[in-house]
Copies of this chain bind each other. A is one copy, B any other.
């Protein structure tokens, strides 16, 4: 890096990550209280808070008022979506679909060749619940694509797709809810699922490409210029 020495809070954030690793803490576990952390590392509470805020921004920890500091899912992630992203535009939505169109067909092909029983089961479950409305912030309609990437066996690909789908997730769901045919989506998901189950990589790739192309076209024809509200 350009800076030789890091600030206290930056150093402290690394130390806390190291502490989490050395104690083998996983998502959901409780971290030491901020007061104890302050004592342990011989700094004051505001400094600890800065370090924790930093870690919170990338999902490594989660601070719950009155309860404690908990380990989040961010520790094992390599790539993530920026929580502060630019406003949505028509172009940005289409850009996203085009990016997915480049990336996801290859993932589908890989998933068809690398599938296993557990992955197939999760994929089937995701396809089955795709028509249910979003609850608790989880969007079943998008979950199928994440599980498809997970079935490829490559964690980085899963994270990449997850991050891309997290980009402007609320607006994406809103738009698909208004302009997309979810029954057709579901039918296409089932076709992809069948191809993956049969181990037919070429078909999975082709079907995924068709699926995303259909979505892109429905977005391109739809006029949502004033749909920002």
Contact = CB atoms under 8 A, between A and B. Distances in A.
B79 A79 contact: yes
Contacts of A14: 84
A156 B95 contact: yes
A-B pairs, 6 with minimum CB distance: A57-B57, A99-B156, A102-B106, A54-B57, A78-B167, A50-B53
A34 interface: no
Interface residues of A, number: 55
Given A99-B160, A160-B164, A164-B156, A76 B86 contact: yes
Contact of A96 (B74, B105, B156): B156
Interface of A: 1-2, 7, 9, 13-14, 17, 46, 49-51, 53-58, 60, 63, 65, 74-86, 95-96, 98-99, 102-103, 105-107, 110, 136-137, 152, 154-157, 160, 163-164, 167-168
Contact of A164 (B7, B79, B84, B85): B79
Contacts of A152: 102
Given A55-B57, A78-B81, 11 more contacts: A9-B53, A14-B84, A50-B53, A55-B84, A58-B58, A77-B85, A80-B81, A95-B155, A99-B156, A105-B106, A156-B167
